[in-house]
Amino acid sequence: MQQGSKAWKYGDNVDTDVIVPARYLTTSDPAELAVHCMEDLDPDFASQVAQGDIIVAGENFGCGSSREHAPIAIKASGVSCVIAASFARIFYRNAINIGLPILECPQAAIETQHGDMLSVNFESGEIRNLTRGIQYRAAAFPPFVRDIMAAGGLIPYIRQRLLNAADHPFGVQKVEVHLDGEHEEAGTKEK
Amino acid sequence: MSMTMTQKILADHAGLASVEAGQLIEARVDFVLGNDVTAPVAIKEFEKIGVAEVFDRRRIALVPDHFTPNKDIQSAEQCKIMRDFAKKHAIEHYFEVGRMGIEHALLPEQGLVLPGELVVGADSHTCTYGAVGAFSTGVGSTDMAAAMAAGTAWFRVPGAIRFVLNGKLGGWATGKDLILSIIGKIGVDGALYRSMEFVGPGLATLSMDERFTMANMVIEAGAKNGIFTVDERTRAWAASVSSRHYKEYAADPNAEYEQTIVVDLDRIKPQIAFPHLPSNVRPADEAEKTPIDQVVIGSCTNGRIEDLRAAAFILKGRSVAQGLRCIVIPATQQIYRQAVREGLVDTFIEAGAAVSTPTCGPCLGGHMGILAAGERAVATTNRNFVGRMGHPSSEVYLASPATAAACAIAGYIVDPSEISEAPQHGIFETASRDRD
């Protein structure tokens, strides 16, 4: 549970070219990428963002290039979570895989204003707008995705699997998804 | 249970009899791809996993195409990480500069992707191979690392939108104009998380190069993948690039689609996507005469031989407008060589265009044609986001090679028919020397 994080509000279709412009992709150093985070959309962001702040955006956040440098830059800039009405699918995967918390919640995305103070509970998907006294419930992650997050990202998850490979040696397994209806209504979309 | 074409490929690769939209699966991958931007990050992650070897050194391609030939010391260091890794793991399909091409033109050309295969690539335009009836999709570097180690990847099975193509393209309309008009219609998130399946009688009139262009840009509508029905043209193409065995998949007749969109190809006109979204599309003949500073003809979207033939057709005997830079980038060495043989390169140079060795270069604002503040480019590339080709106040207008070449002659945005009468659709599919 976090207390009172500042919201940075952006619109629809925030693309990975503005999150971290390609001219900086000759490095993959997180700290260096963070310096240029959101540069072409909001030149003040990188210098003013504080540890724990939250990005709130509209539809299709992270569209465009598959560059993992985008969620890496956001994470390294100190942002604790991205809340959007929806995410572009590669960005969604990348965020999960590197352990950047993201929440899909159209209502919160619409109603939150720049500078509002938010608190987020990742377990329950609950978002509270402390400035406006409004509460939202974001879509919960399916169990398989929660397993990846619990392992600390895809790499530790795969390492556990491959190094304990006796039961599934590179094997293929079916993973059931149980999305509960209430969460689905709260804005789940299929990835 | 009835499945879409994509779902059938996914089910087979997950070892399941059937899958349904929304289901999470882990699937075997046939091929993994990375480039000089994404692979260095993936290699770092791969090393954290702690396995000694990649899952299959013949099923990975490493292509240094974004900032190559190295633009500066930093990009040279990134390429070196990839080169060293390729050497250490004896990666069979590492393409050094000189053999390198833009990855999504190169892999199909080299016969590395065939119908029915499942490909993940750490590049968003990996969706290009849907043109040959493969399932292919872009992932990030961590996904690439995991796939290189385990030979598998996780997916949520997508639902699909079906595009039924009727009729035939005419005038200067190409596959590029068709996909731009589709993106304009459904929006940049119109197919978010879904497959775009292209079917219908009009399909037979689209060349493989046009299909590559279309599948390439499905990501600009947010799609997970785009996929084309395998037909005679696909089979002939597959036989021309590889003798490897492949499996054909087709959608079940009663497969469920979230939406069906019927497209009449006869009504498609040359399109321009205005800044700063690929969906901001208008017919070229309705655009104002906006002056431009640069034209780029190339990229994984439109750097193939047909694209160069169309551009050369317009540039032949004409001159690039005074004060405008026209940059032509054949997508692979093989395409470059073919363009030399056919005299296309000579045509470009004579017209006053610069011709470059294969590179992604300006498409992503990397190098080889960066825009200054306030400059405008018409490009055959795939994205026109803020700052995509250079300064944040510069502008990119997306168009087909024919339209881009026409703009290079005019010096402003123009419909290609104002510069040259359109030849019969399909004429650029066969080599010009075959026609002569």
The minimum CA-CA distance between B110 and chain A, rounded to whole Å, is 23
Q: For residue B71, what pLDDT band results from cuts at 50, 70 and 90?
A: very high
pLDDT digits (tens, 9 = 90+) for B83-110: 999 999 999 999 999 999 999 999 999 9
Report pLDDT for B258. 97
Both B198 and B311 in one domain: the answer is: no
Nearest to A60 among B38, B194, B222 (CB): B222
- Spatial neighbors of A135 by CB under 8 A, at least 6 apart, are A126, A127, A128, A129
B237, B264, B291 - which closes a domain: B264
- Of B123, B159, B387, nearest to A17 by CB-CB distance is B387
B212 and B106, same structural domain?
yes
At residue B44, does pLDDT exceed 50? yes
Whether residue B288 sits in one domain with residue B254: no
pLDDT of residue A21: 95
pLDDT tens track for B239-279:
999 999 999 999 999 999 999 999 999 999 999 999 999 99
pLDDT at A176 > cutoff 80: no
> Per the structure block, which two tokens stand in for B326?
């026209």
- The end-to-end CA distance of chain A, in Å, is 26
Given B214, B230, B264, which residue is the final one in a domain? B264
Contact B14 A162 (CB under 8 A): no
Query: Considering B225, B242, B264, which residue would you say is the last residue of a domain?
Result: B264
- Record: contact A172-B27, CB cut-off 8 A: yes
Tell whether B313 and B181 lie within a shared domain.
no
C-alpha closest to that of A187 among A140, A146, A139, A141: A139
Residue pLDDT, tens place only, B315-343: 999 999 999 999 999 999 999 999 999 99
| CB spacing of A64 vs B28 below 8 angstroms | no
What distance in Å separates the CA atoms of residue A164 and residue A169, rounded to the nearest whole number?
8
- B161 and B191 both lie in a single domain: yes
Residue B196 and residue B300 in one domain? no
- Chain B residues lying within 8 Å of A191, measured CB to CB: 156, 193
> In angstroms, what separates the C-alpha of A45 from chain B's closest C-alpha?
16
Task: Tell me the backbone φ, ψ of residue B295, rounded to 5 degrees.
Answer: -125, 130
Do residue B201 and residue B343 come from a single domain?
no
Residue A178: other Cβ atoms inside 10 A: 6
pLDDT at B1: 82
Mean pLDDT of A52-61: 98
How does residue A3 score in pLDDT terms, banded at 50, 70 and 90? Answer: low
Lowest mean pLDDT of A94-103, B74-83, B294-303, B363-372, name the range: A94-103
| CB–CB contact A64 B138 (8 Å) | no
pLDDT beyond 50 at A189: no
Residue A165's pLDDT is: 59
- Same-domain status, B275 and B364: yes
**Do B285 and B241 share a structural domain?**
no
Separation of alpha carbons B279 and B300, rounded Å:
19
CA B192 to chain centre: 18
Residue A174 has pLDDT above 80, yes or no: no
Work out the pLDDT band at A184, boundaries 50, 70, 90. very low
Strand order in the sheet with B93-94: B93-94, B60-63, B31-35, B118-121, B135-138
Tokens 């005419």 belong to B170
Examine the domain organization and report whether B295 and B255 are in the same domain.
Answer: no
Average pLDDT value for chain A: 85
Q: What band does A177 get if pLDDT is binned at 50, 70 and 90?
A: very low
pLDDT exceeds cutoff 90 at B18: yes
Is B386 in Cβ contact with A17 (below 8 Å)? yes
Average pLDDT (A158-174) is: 58
| pLDDT tens-digit map of A106-134 | 999 999 999 999 999 887 889 999 999 99
Contact B223, B196 (CB under 8 A): yes
Among partner residues A25, A66, A176, which is closest to B140 by beta-carbon distance? A66
Where is average pLDDT lowest: A182-186, B217-221, B356-360? A182-186
B290 and B410 together in one domain: yes
* Residue B194: Cβ-neighbour burial (10 angstroms; 0-12, 13-18, 19+): buried
* Domain around B403: 271-435
User: Which chain A residue shows the shortest CA-CA distance from B364?
Assistant: A22
CATH code for the domain of B423: 3.30.499.10
CA distances from A59 to A89, A120, B44, B52 (A): 12, 20, 32, 41
Q: What does the block give as tokens for B178?
A: 């068709």
Selected for mutation to probe chain A from B13, B78, B124, B259 (highest A CB count within 10 Å) is B124
**Tokens (6 digits) for A165:** 């490979």
- Angle at the Cα of B24 (from B23 to B25), degrees rounded to 5? 115
Q: What's the token pair of residue B95?
A: 């393409």
pLDDT band with cut points at 50, 70 and 90 for residue A159: confident
Number of domains chain B is built from: 2
The pLDDT of B155-181, averaged and rounded, is 97
Identify whether residues B325 and B184 lie together within a single domain. Answer: no
Give the strand order in the sheet containing A134-137: A102-104, A81-84, A54-57, A5-9, A117-121, A126-129, A134-137
A175 pLDDT band, cuts 50/70/90, is: very low
Q: Which pLDDT score, from 0 to 100, does residue A186 have?
A: 34
pLDDT of res. A12: 97
Tens of pLDDT, residues A87-113: 999 999 999 999 899 999 999 999 999
Within 8 A of B152 by CB-CB distance, chain A residues are 170, 172
Q: Minimal Cα–Cα distance from A31 to chain B, Å?
A: 14
In this complex, the residue of A18, A71, A177 whose CB is nearest that of residue B22 is: A177
Q: What is the CA radius of gyration of chain B?
A: 21
Residue B131 has pLDDT above 50, yes or no: yes
| Cis previous bond, B69, omega within 30 | yes
